[in-house]
Amino acid sequence: MTLNRRVFLGAAGVVAAGLSAPMVLAQGKPRVVVVGGGAGGATAARYIAKDSKGEVDVTLIEPSRTYYTCFFSNLYLGGFQELSDIAHSYGTLAANYGINVVHDWATGVDRDAKTVSLAGGGSIPYDKLILSPGIDFVDGAVEGWDVSAQNKMPHAYKAGSQTELLKAQIMAMPEGGTFAMVAPPNPFRCPPGPYERISMVAHVLKKNNPTAKIIVADPKPKFSKMALFQEGWGNNYEGMVDWIGEDFGGGNVSVNPDAMTVTIDGEETKVDVCNVIPAMKAGRIAEMAGVTDGNWAPVNAADMSSKADPDIYVLGDASQQGDMPKSGFSANSQAKVCANAVRSALTGSKVFPAKFSNTCWSLIDTNDGVKVGATYEATPEKIAKVDGFISQTGEDADLRKATYEESLGWYAGITSDMFG
């Protein structure tokens, strides 16, 4: 069948003995270290461990013991999911796949020694390193806001306590109060995310606080699924959502977390809740590893390897790969291509051609789901879009309901694909 590594070793052993043997062979089991246990990292770790059947040593470094998926966290805000529904642990990856799960922060990468250092002390050696650290925020992106203000003005763009905080603030809004969002510039994690969030906040307010208002300051002239969201806001939350795009000064924003004010194009407004989603960049470890160029880490489309270092791969939001949106689905898709390539490099397993795909579902109101998706291929320059589709405005209620139910099925599918 395929060229088995043992067979290869048997045939080549005599020759190799006299030469300087490759590192992988000299040290026994090849080692893969994965930093970040989200849709990219957990999937890559699981696939490499599963498909190499014990031939590769896999370590997953992830600080959270309980991982909250960013996807579906808006549905928690809208009351369609419990927080526990989007919480996952790494027990199965450790117990059933033999992955060494290390709950710690990766604090640095020594590319010459090929080690990753940990906040808790010590370092872990690797033959191949996969970085899937998600996003961090660009300093000074929104005037008046930094991470120290996240308790007053939450970003809730890394799911968990921030999401819970934002929900509590929404529920505590005074009657007829104002919810403000500062939306991020491109490119950012989950392009429909801020607008699905607006829909979910509107859904909650319509029920509990129907005279409340929502204002969105957006530095962009348009956004993902714009026609679908605007149709939904008009039909379901009439008069509640005021979206201020680039043309009306949506990009000229400052906030004052102590006074709870937002100033849009010179006009100051007192608000009750302010969700600040700043401009984003690759999770910091990518920068510390020296594989970023600007805010993101450029990669080769065929295998997600870094353009700066052939032994480092970057997945998901942190990568700069071409046409794919920064989404959990994309990261999961990229992880499988990467896992196939890494396994092949370390064990000589067969490499199959890269195929990527993405679909993003969003919920606008109860049983009113929409989606957008595309397929992609690897070209020498980038991951390039092949074909795509998007839900249409004016679709009937049955189709929207089926789309929502499909998204629930997808959530069950992708989380079991990530966490086993």
Partner 1 sequence: MRWSFLLTCATVLVSIAPSTHATEDLGDAEAGKVVFAQCQGCHQVGEGAENKIGPHLNGVFGRKAAGLEGFNYSKSLVRAGNSGLEWHADTLSAYIENPRAFASGTRMSFRGLKDPEDRANVVAYLRAFSDNPQDIPEADPTAKGTDHSIDPAILAIQGDPEYGAYLSSECTTCHQIEGGDEGIPSIVYWPDEDFVVAMHAYKDKQRPHPVMQMIAGRLSNDEIAALAAYFNNPE
Residues that bind partner 1 (CB under 8 A): 1-2, 47, 51, 329, 332-333, 336, 340, 350, 352, 355, 357, 359, 371, 373-375, 386-389, 405-410, 412-414, 416-417
Distance CA 356, CA 382 (A): 12
What is the smallest separation between the CB atom of 409 and partner 1, expressed in angstroms?
3
Using CA atoms, how far residue 95 sits from 50, 86, 91, 419, 420, in Å, is 12, 21, 6, 11, 10
Q: Is the dihedral of CA 198, 199, 202, 203 positive or negative?
A: negative
Question: In the bound complex, what is the minimum distance in angstroms from residue 320's beta carbon to partner 1?
Answer: 22
- Token pair, residue 33, equals 């270290």
Closer residue to partner 1 in complex, CB, 76/329? 329
Nearer to partner 1, 51 or 311 (CB): 51
Burial label for 72, CB within 10 Å (0-12, 13-18, 19+), is buried
Task: Report in angstroms how near the CB of residue 62 gets to partner 1 at its nearest.
Answer: 20
Across 258-391, the runs of DSSP E, i.e. the strands, are 261-264, 267-270, 273-276, 280-282, 297-298, 312-314, 319-320, 355-365, 368-378, 383-390
Residue with tokens 């790969």: 321
Contact 373, 207 (CB under 8 A): no
Nearer Cβ to partner 1, position 143 or 387? 387
How many angstroms separate the CA atoms of 105 and 121, rounded? 10
Nearer to partner 1, 275 or 407 (CB): 407
Closest distance to partner 1 from the beta carbon of 54 (Å):
15
How many angstroms separate the CA atoms of 163 and 184, rounded? 17
Radius of gyration (C-alpha) of the chain in whole angstroms: 23
The CB-of-32 to partner 1 minimum distance in angstroms stands at: 17
State both tokens at 202: 């509107």
From the CB of residue 145, how many other CB atoms can be counted at a distance below 10 Å?
Answer: 23
Residue 329: name the closest of 316, 342, 340 by CA.
Answer: 316
Backbone angles phi, psi at 264, to 5 degrees: -115, 115
Which residue carries 């060494």 as its tokens? 100
Residue 65 or 350: which CB sits closer to partner 1? 350
- Nearest distance from residue 393's CB to partner 1, in Å? 15
Shortest distance in whole angstroms from residue 408 CB to partner 1: 5
The count of other CB atoms within 10 Å of the CB of residue 123 is: 17
* Of residues 264 and 414, the one with the C-beta less far from partner 1: 414
Choose between 214 and 414: whose C-beta lies nearer to partner 1. 414
Measured from the CB atom, the residue of 176 and 352 that comes closer to partner 1 is: 352
Q: Pick between residue 65 and residue 355 the one whose CB is nearest to partner 1.
A: 355
Token duo for residue 75: 């549905």
State the minimum distance, in angstroms, from the CB of residue 232 to partner 1.
19
Q: How far is the CB of 164 from partner 1 (least distance, A)?
A: 26
Closest approach of partner 1 to the CB of residue 363, in Å: 13
Indicate the residue among 166 and 374 with the shorter CB distance to partner 1: 374
Q: How far apart are CA 361 and CA 203, in angstroms?
A: 17
CA distances from 342 to 189, 327, 390 (A): 25, 22, 33
Q: Which amino acid is at 390?
A: I
What is the closest distance, in whole angstroms, from the C-beta atom of residue 404 to partner 1 in the complex? 8
CB-based contacts of 79: which residues, under 8 Å, 6+ apart?
200, 203, 204
- Pairing label, strands 267-270, 261-264: antiparallel
Residue placing its CB nearer to partner 1 in the complex, 78 or 369: 369
